[in-house]
Every structure is written in structure tokens, then in C-alpha cells.
Chain A
């Protein structure tokens, strides 16, 4: 039964140039029925949606936006593999979205897809703009020449979508007339035979992609290269030739069908660009927009984050009170529920940031930011497109790293991912505030508050290391890709709320489902390490605690509880580990208690405050920063009688938290974005080493 159902569901790939409204059409057709998956061995996400038209159901595969089928980045490799059914199931048909105002450019990709021999239909989108500009498009004449059904739409305003649904309903996808005749017939025949391909163009693509497809077996790669060599086939030369000939054929086609149109010049909203792209105002507006976004994230994310925090704390409390005490209850209440809470807590920040980013992207403003910032980023081995991830990193590295998706150069994207966690994120703030309060006097120097100055310095330190780190990586990482900037600056349009909301939803979903697993796993491991110790010690402490509590008066109970919390943490595996690393962290000015806090705060930096409060038995009321600070200020080393949190140790700790990874969620998201454990591991180890050295130098200077 299920098999029969599966067969009835046809899959259709949707492809088009960037900025033609392809995702608009995809969203209109599928709505919330979208799923994000993986292409094996690739970092690009696979977006699949369900379309229901009448009684029929289709699976719509959203291919990345591309100008042609030539290999330049993973985007094109995926388009190539999907459309030819290489290593993935071949779709039954393709829907190619064309830009009504840029038919020549869109048809380059469109006719390439025709020549692959897959049944298809064209959607000519943005007909509203074309009409405004007086561009004529004769769809019937085009249909006669190309043999492919065409419909005109204005997807933004939901016009013509009925015609698209009608295409699905009637399954009106046709194999077009072969458009471009390729050279090298013998060579292409051999490739066709070897790979069991149907058309010359598929064979041509197979030859071109021989160098680029990471999943093509080596022997096949070699075979293709040998054949190309034997026939004197030069891939790059042939691509250029094909593009040129194809474009002149398209020109002829458009004039013979009277479709080129003599449109009046595009209205560019030049007034907007006069400000947004201005050498001074452009940067100031960008800065202002970013400030507004930050303000909004801090202001709007706080309430939902507090609610989530409270809800999970309540759930955890309810479980531990309701169920019989034991290992399973503890695991559920303190391990799993707290762990899930640690994942969900990021949703407000992620959703808000991506809401704003989608808004700016959809208006067309973003490519202006790339234009403005590219020059500043280049000396550091970064791209204009790295700016938004890095700035987002000042709120939280997680959405920042997730926003590196559109950097097409692998090296620049990787550098951006690797250095973004050095931007000073909001989780460092509680750590800085406690430590600055302990070590920097609340005095003014030339009218500037020293504590504020110290905080500013920490932010600058993070930014400096981000840029220097990028600079260093620029020389370390190797790539054969050349960096370039070639981007369309689309006209400004009003954003579509559907797109904005769907982006917020999808990004949050990806984070929870994919990074969430890793975060949950690590947090359970950390919980076990912090709650259990070697044979019987914890149990002995528990018995001792019960006895002490029985004997105590009500006034003493609170103090006793925090005292035993501290003892239990000391006796746990993580406490033992903290003691074990003490010789290593001694030169940084830390004792084993701080060592334990370093270990537990690998979950997230702000955990440092809570752990320090527990281990110095400050009490469980960690919300009260002033109390923690006062009590920590009184801590002295048992052997020397010196203050634990003196200036050198405080500064050293701040530098450590500025530079160390100390965030398992970031590790998880880097794993998810690079699809391998190699980079998150290198990054974590590298950052820890740099943090260690930075803290060491700081301590030795100030001691």
C-alpha cells in the first residue's frame, strides 16, 4: 500500500537564477509542508516540500539558485546531480523559473535544462515588473520554438499561481526540443555509453563535472579525464564556447518570437541607493540598522528567554518532586529536561535574528551591504558577505554561523565560521560583569567609568582576535578557488511576511533538530560528570548531608545545603577532573575550584557564574549578582591567605572567556554547518590553546 502511494507521488525539481522569486514560488506552493534534509557528502541543505493539487501530490525539490549548470560551487554540483539523477533519485520533471525582465540571462540556464532531456515547464516570474517596463513576451511563440509549456506569474502578489498549480494538475511537463548542438559527437557518445546517459548534453556535463564532483569514484574521474584528453576536449574552453553560442541562439530566439521587448530603463529607486550606497551615509545607515537589530534582539529576546528558562526549571522541579527519587528521575529532571531547555533557550535569538536578516535580504538591501563592506573585509581573508555573520556573532555566534550559508567561496566561509565565536557574544556578558565588578574599581578616569572602559576593552579584544584570527587563517588554509565578487544588486522590493516568517521557522527548526541532538548529548555527559563520583563518595556525602540537616536549625539549613552542594561537586568526576587540571591552570592564576567552573562552563559561558557560586558555596540564589560578587570577594586561598579573585586572576579569567570556545552549542552548530567533526574539533582545540596562552600572558603581566 505504501509503495503504491510512493509511486503516485511525483517529484519535481525547481530551479532558477538567484533573485528570480524561485523561493517565493516554492513557498507559495508548499507553505509549511517543507522539510530540510541532507545531500550525502554535501554541506548544502536539501529543501523538499509537498504540493497538493486536487487529488494529486507532488514532492517539490528546491535546488539552489544558479545562473548556469557549470560547476562553480556546491550549488551547481547539486543541481547537476539531482537533474541527472546521479547518486540521488532523479526527479520526474523540472520547473524552471525565469525572470521576465532578464529572459536572456534566465534562458541560458533554462535551455541548459532543456538539453538535459528532462521533462519540464517554464514559469516566467515577475511579469508585473516586465509589464511596467513594457517588455513583451509571447509565450505561445516561445512554446512553439522551445516545445516547453510556459506560464507567466507574479509570485510576490500571488498572481498566476493558479496556472502553475494547473501545470501540476495536468502534469503538463514536456521534454523540450534539443536547443543547442554540441561538438565532439564521438566523445559524447562514449561518455553516454559508459554512464548510460540519454542526451549529449548530459554527457557534456559529466565531462565538465569530472573535476568537481567530490563523490565521483576516482577511476571514473580518471576515465573521463583520459577521454577528454584523447579527444582534445578542454572543459573551460568548451564552456565558454557553449555559453557564447547558446546566448546568441537565445538572442535570435527572442527576436524571432518578438519577446525581447524594448523596455523603458529599469527604475532603480536611485534615491534609495544614493543613501544606502553612499560612501558616508551608506556606512552610517548600515551601522544604524545593525544597532536597531541588536537593540531589538536584546529587548525582545529577553522575555521569551526568561519564560523558556522558567518553564523548563518548573518542569524539572515538577519531575523531581512528582516521580520517586532515583537515578532515572534525576536523569530526566536535571539531565534531559535541563539539556532540552538549553537548546530551546536559543530559539528567540535565532528566530529574531533570522527574521531581520530575511527581511533585509528580501528587500534587496543585503547585497548593498556586501558591496559596502567587501573592501574592509578582504585584507583579513574574508568576503563582503562575512560581515553579517560576524556582526550577528555579537549577539550570539550560533545564528551568526548559520548565516554563513550564502558565502559561496569555501575558504572564506570556513574562515568566517571559525572566527565568529571570537566576537563578544551576549553569554560572555554575565561573566564579564561579575569579574569586572570584582577586579576593576568603580571609579572614573577623565570622566569615563573604569568598569565601562574595561567592558568596552573586552568587546574590542574579541573583535581584534576575530580579525587577526581570520588573517592568520588566510595564510594557513589552502584553496584552489579564487575569491571574487560578482553579485547582482536587485531592485528594492517590499519584503514578504511569509518569507520572513518561514525563514524564522525553518532556521529555528534546523537548529533544534540538528544541533539540538549534539547539545543534548553533551549536556547529559556534563550532567553525569557533575552529579556522580567514584564509588560511594557521593552517597556518603548524601547520608552525611541528611544527618547534618536533621540536626540543624532552620536558619542553618540554607547554609548547610550550599555547603554540601559545594562538597558534592568537589567529589564528582568533574570535581576530580578540575583538581587534575590544577597544575596546568596554576600559571593562569586559577585554583581547582575555578578549574571545575572552566569544565562545567563548556556547556555555556554563563554557567561559570552558577558553578563558581556553587563551589564557593555562595548559595543557590545565583540571580543576585551583587551577593555573589561580595561573597567571592571574600574568598581567600587556604594556604597563602591571598584573595582568590585578585586583579591578575580576574583579568586572566576574562581573557580566557573572551578567547576560549566554552560553548557546546557553537560546537554543535559548526558541526552541522561544516558537516564534519574535523572543523569543530580543530576550532575548539585552537581556541582553547589561544585562550590559555592569552590568559597566561595576562596573569603574568598583572601578578
Chain B
């Protein structure tokens, strides 16, 4: 599954990232395979999602969260 489906209070591990032009950008922000990821907050009406990754809060739109494949930690 992808990070877009993450529910609050679940901690998963990033498995892989889809290959898109955003790939490098995600990696350089610290969104990397092997890191723990959990959902911090979600904006209403399918707005951006704020994730906790490696001690940082990173806000992504659902489309971008959908590029992050996750697995159970």
C-alpha cells in the first residue's frame, strides 16, 4: 500500500518510491526507503497530509503520498 492510505497512529516503514520527476526531491527531503513513517495530521476534504518521517513533519498532497510505497514495520 501507499502512504496515502495511512491511518493515524499507525507506524509503517517506507518500502520504495515510485520513479517520477519528484523522486529526487523526495529523497533529498529525507523520504527514503527504510525510514519509519506515520500520519501526523490530515487536512479536510482530501487536502494535504502531514507525515512524521525521521523526526520531521513533512506535508504532501495525496498524489505525492501515493508515490510512497510502505510496508508494515
Residues in A lying within 8 Å of B, measured CB to CB: 67-68, 70, 72, 101-102, 104-105, 108-109, 236, 239-240, 243-244, 247, 263, 265-266, 268, 273, 277, 279, 367, 370-372, 374-375, 384, 482, 484-490
Chain B residues, Cβ within 8 Å of A70: 24, 28
> Quick check: A247 and B32 within 8 Å, CB to CB?
yes
- The residue that B21 contacts in the complex, of A367, A482, A485, with Cβ under 8 A, is A482
- Of B40, B44, B60, which one neighbours A485 at CB under 8 angstroms? B60
Write out the residue numbers on chain A whose beta carbons fall within 8 Å of the beta carbon of B60.
485-486
**Given A105-B30, A244-B27, A374-B43, 10 more contacts at CB 8 Å?**
A70-B24, A236-B23, A240-B23, A240-B24, A375-B47, A384-B48, A482-B22, A485-B59, A485-B64, A488-B29
Contact B59 A371 (CB under 8 A): yes
Does residue B3 face the partner (Cβ distance < 8 Å to A)? no
From A105, A371, A384, A490, B29 is in contact (CB under 8 Å) with A105
Tell me, in angstroms, the Cα distance from A104 to B53 when the chains sit together.
13
Does B6 belong to the interface (CB within 8 Å)? no
Between A and B, 12 residue pairs with Cβ closer than 8 Å are A67-B29, A68-B24, A109-B28, A243-B24, A243-B28, A268-B57, A279-B43, A367-B59, A374-B61, A484-B22, A488-B56, A489-B57
Residue in chain A with minimal CB distance to B44 = A279
In the bound complex, what is the Cα–Cα distance between A109 and B22 (angstroms)? 17
CA distance A72 to B39 in the complex (A): 27
Q: Which of B23, B28, B50, B54 contacts A371 (CB 8 A)?
A: B50
A265 touches B59 (CB 8 A): no
Indicate whether A487 sits within 8 Å of B47 (C-beta atoms), given known contacts A67-B25, A240-B23. Answer: no
B58, A484: Cβ atoms closer than 8 Å:
no
| Residue in A closest to B56 when the chains form the complex, CB atoms | A488
Task: Chain A residues near B46: list those with CB within 8 A.
Answer: 375
| A105 neighbours in B (Cβ, 8 Å) | 28-30
Contact across chains for B28 and A484 when beta carbons are under 8 A apart? no
Chain B residues whose C-beta falls within 8 Å of the C-beta of A247 in the assembled complex: 27, 32
Kindly list chain B residues whose C-beta atoms are within 8 Å of the C-beta of A266. Answer: 55-56
> How many interface residues does B have (CB within 8 Å)?
31
Are A375 and B43 within 8 A (Cβ)? Answer: yes
Does the CB pair A375–B48 fall under 8 Å? yes
Contacts A374-B61, A375-B44; A486 near B24 (Cβ below 8 A): no
Min distance, Cβ B53 to any Cβ of chain A, angstroms? 10
User: What chain A residues lie within 8 Å of B28 (beta carbons)?
Assistant: 67-68, 70, 105, 108-109, 243
Residues of A contacting B5 with CB < 8 Å?
A: none
Residues on the B chain within 8 Å of A104, using CB: 30, 54
A-B contact count (CB 8 A): 99
Q: Which of B1-45 contact A (CB under 8 A)?
A: 19, 21-30, 32, 40-41, 43-45
User: A163 CB to closest chain B CB, in angstroms?
Assistant: 26
Q: How far is the CB of B47 from chain A (nearest CB, A)?
A: 3
Residue of B nearest to A105 (CB): B30
**Which residue of the partner chain B has the closest CB to A241?**
B24
Measured CA separation A384–B22 after assembly (Å)? 18
Instruction: Give A73 Cβ to nearest chain B Cβ, in Å.
Output: 11
Q: How far is the CA of A266 from the CA of B63 in the complex (A)?
A: 27
- B25 lies within 8 A of A277 (CB): no
Q: Is the CB of B27 within 8 A of A277?
A: no
Q: Which one of B26, B43, B54 contacts A486 once the chains associate, using CB atoms below 8 Å?
A: B26
Q: Closest chain A residue to B31 by CB distance?
A: A486
Give B45's nearest chain A residue, CB to CB.
Answer: A375
Complexed CA–CA distance, A247 and B40 (Å): 25
Contact call B61/A485, Cβ cutoff below 8 A: yes
Contact B30–A240 (Cβ < 8 Å): no
Q: Which residues of A contact B54 (CB under 8 A)?
A: 102, 104
B58 touches A489 (CB 8 A): yes
- Cβ-defined contact, A102 with B30, below 8 A: yes
Q: Assess whether A265 is in contact with B43, with CB atoms less than 8 Å apart.
A: no
Contact call A263/B55, Cβ cutoff below 8 A: yes
Q: Which residues of chain A come closer than 8 Å to B40, judged between CB atoms?
A: 273
CB nearest neighbor in B for A69: B28
Residues of B within 8 A of A243 (CB): 24, 27-28
Residue from the set B25, B26, B43 with the largest chain A CB neighbour count within 10 Å? B43
Least Cβ distance of B70 to chain A in Å? 17
Do residues B25 and A72 form an inter-chain contact, with CB atoms below 8 A? yes
A486-B59 in contact (CB<8A): yes
Contact of A273 with B41 in the complex, beta carbons under 8 Å: yes
In the complex, A543→B46 CA distance in Å? 73
Q: Contacts of A485 on B, CB cut-off 8 Å?
A: 48, 59-61, 64
Complex Cα distance, B24 from A243, in Å, reads 7
CB distance from B42 to the nearest CB of A (A): 8
With a cutoff of 8 Å between Cβ atoms, the chain A residues found around residue B59 in the complex are: 367, 370-371, 485-489
Q: Shortest CB–CB separation between residue A481 and chain B, in angstroms?
A: 9
Cα–Cα, bound, A510→B47 (Å): 35
Q: Tell me the smallest distance from the CB of A205 to a CB of chain B, in Å.
A: 13
